[in-house]
A = this chain, B = another copy of it.
Amino acid sequence: MPTNVFSPPALEPGTLRVFPLGGLGEVGRNMTVFEYEGKLLVVDCGVLFPEEHQPGVDLILPDFEPIRHRLDDIVGVVLTHGHEDHIGAVPYLLKLKRDIPLIGSGLTLALIEAKLKEHRIRPFTLTVTEGQREQVGPFDLEFIAVNHSIPDALAVAVRTPAGLVLATGDFKMDQLPLDGRITDLRAFSRLGEEGVDLFLVDSTNADVPGFTPTERGIGPVLDQVISKSPRRVIVASFSSHVHRVQQVVDAAAANGRRVAFLGRSMVRNMTIAENLGYLNVPDGVLIDYKKAQDLPDDRIVYMSTGSQGEPMAVLSRMANLEHAIEPGEGDTVILASSQIPGNENAIYRVIDGLTKLGANVVHKGNAKVHVSGHAAAGELLYCYNILRPRNVLPVHGEYRHLMANAKLAQDTGIPAERTILAENGTVVDLKNGVAEVVGQLDIGFVYVDGSTVGEITDADLKDRRILGEEGFISVIVVVDGKTGRVVSGPDIHARGVAEDDSVFEGVKPKIAAALAEAVQSGTRDNHALSQVVRRTIGRWVNQSLRRRPMIVPVVIEA
C-alpha cells in the first residue's frame, strides 16, 4: 500500500500532527487523526465498499493499527455527516473501546446510533450544531454548516496552539438548497481572516469543471415525469438522501399520489429523518407498502433502495420478479441517483430487466434526475479564495482527484510546496504555520468478511481471484508410509475447470508413474511427493487445456 514507509519523529510539544488513515487514493473509509500533546481527535470513521478485485469482501475498514494501542488517548470522534463512508466503521472502533465519545449533528448521531443498536452498542454522544464551539481535550472545536447530499452536515475547525485547521468533510455549495442551509461562507471568511493554517478539503469533484447544479432543479423533472406516468411510479435513490426523497414526496403529493417506502435502510432512515424534522411529509401521504398495493396504480409512488443495482436490494429484486411488487407495462421507474464507477453493469442489468417487463425507465442518462453532492472545481476556487489557507491537504478522493484539487489550490496562489499530496498513513506535522510530511505509516486494508474483521488477507484475496478465474484441481493420493507405494488414488476433484472429472482419467496414470519414479529414487517426504503431483498435473492441464487452475496436491500416509 504505502510506497515509502518511514517513521515520524517523536511529536514535539506545540506541534499538531495530522495523519489520515483512510479516504486518500480511494473514495470511502474516510478517517483522519489529529494528535496534540499526547491526545488524539478522530474526524470521521467510514467504510469503503469493495471492488471486483476484492471478491467476497463485505466492507473495508480504515487500518486502526497506528491508534490501536492508544485508544485511551482518543478524546472524541467527530462525525461530519451520516454517510456510510464517514460513519460506517464506528461500530468496529467502538468494539475496541466502547466509551469513545461521538460528536456530531442531530441527524448524524441519530443515524450512527441506529447502526450501533444493531451491534448492541449504546455510545456516549455529544450533539453539536453549526456555530457551536466545544473544547474537547486540547482541541478547541468549532462547527460550521456545510451543504451536502444529506442534511445536517458540518465542517469542523480544530484550534490548538499549533494553529487553526479546517476540515470540510464532504460538501458542495448549492446556493439554493432545499432546506435553505447553505455552506457558511461567512464563517469561512471569518476563519480566513483569523488565518487558516491547514485546510483539509473534499476532492471528490475537483476534476469536474464548473459548478454542481442545484438539487432544486430535480423537483420539476420528477414532477413532470410523475404527472405523465399512467400507472405506478417507482423511484430509487440513496436511502440517506433526505432532500431527494423530500422532492419525490412533494412531487407525489402534488400529483395526488401517496408514497410508500421500500427497503430496510430507506424505511429506517426516513423514519429517523421525519421524527427529527428533516423530512416533511404532508398528512396522509405516507402509506405502508402492503396497503399501497390496494390503491389504484396511478395513485402511488414507491420510494425504494437499489439504485446502484445491488443484487439484494428492492429494485434488483423487482427487475427479477422476486419482489411482491412486480413492475409491468405502463409503470415508470426513476433512478434518481448517480452511477458509482464499477456499478454500471449491475445498474444496466436492472434497467434492462425493468425495460423488458414493460416499464419506462428514467435515469440520469436520459433525464436530469441527479446532481452530485460534492463541490466541483468552480466551487473549490471560491473556498480557496475566501480562506486563503497557508497549507492545503486535499482529502477524500482517488489520486487524480487529490491532484486536481492541489492544482486548483495552486491556481489561486498557494505555493506548490504548501499543497501536500498525501496518501493514507502519511504523517503531517503543523508547526509555526508550516505543514510538512514527517513520516509514512505502514498501513493497509482491513477486510470485513462475514463475522471476521481483518482475518482475510490480501493473499486470501489473491487465492480467491485465481479460484474465481480458473477454479481448482485437488489431487489426493494415499501412500503406504513404509514403502511409499500408492495405496489409493490418485483421486481427482475439480471445480470450475471442466464439465466433468472424466477429462482427468488420462492424467492419472501419469501421476502414478511420476510418483513411482520419485519413490524409486528414494523420495519419501510427503511435501516432496506433493510437488511431484503438482508438477505433473500442472504441466498436463497447461498443455492440454491451456489453463492454470489452482492445484492442491495432498499426499496422505496410511
A52 within 8 A of B: yes
B residues less than 8 Å from A355 (CB atoms): 399-400, 403
Least CB distance from A306 to B in Å reads 17
- How many angstroms from the CA of A345 to the CA of B487 in the assembled complex? 51
- How many angstroms from the CA of A495 to the CA of B25 in the assembled complex? 29
Whether A361 contacts B400 in the complex (CB less than 8 A), given A452-B545, A488-B557, comes out as: yes
- Residue interface mask A20-38, B partner, CB < 8 A = 1: 0000010000000000000
Least CB distance from A502 to B in Å reads 12
User: A451 contacts which of B55, B342, B496, B545 (Cβ < 8 Å)?
Assistant: B545
B469 touching A464 by the CB < 8 A rule?
Answer: yes
Interface residues of A in 470-518 (CB under 8 A from B): 470-472, 474, 476, 478, 487-489, 491, 493, 495-499
- How many angstroms from the CA of A351 to the CA of B401 in the assembled complex? 11
A554 touching B478 by the CB < 8 A rule?
Answer: no
B residues less than 8 Å from A557 (CB atoms): 488
Interface residues of A in 271-310 (CB under 8 A from B): none
Which secondary structure dominates where chain A touches chain B?
mixed
- How many angstroms from the CA of A455 to the CA of B545 in the assembled complex? 10
Interface residues of A in 351-382 (CB under 8 A from B): 351-352, 355-356, 361, 365-366
B residues less than 8 Å from A471 (CB atoms): 56, 460, 463-464, 467
B residues less than 8 Å from A547 (CB atoms): 449-450, 452
A130 within 8 A of B: no
Whether A499 contacts B457 in the complex (CB less than 8 A), given A344-B342, A467-B464, comes out as: yes
B residues less than 8 Å from A450 (CB atoms): 545-547
A550 within 8 A of B: yes
- How many angstroms from the CA of A544 to the CA of B451 in the assembled complex? 8
- How many angstroms from the CA of A472 to the CA of B494 in the assembled complex? 11
A342 touching B341 by the CB < 8 A rule?
Answer: no
- How many angstroms from the CA of A461 to the CA of B491 in the assembled complex? 23
In the assembled complex, 19 residue pairs joining A and B whose CB atoms fall closer than 8 Å, in A order, are A25-B352, A56-B469, A209-B366, A351-B400, A352-B400, A451-B545, A451-B546, A455-B498, A455-B499, A456-B498, A456-B499, A460-B471, A464-B467, A467-B472, A468-B468, A476-B556, A478-B478, A495-B552, A556-B556
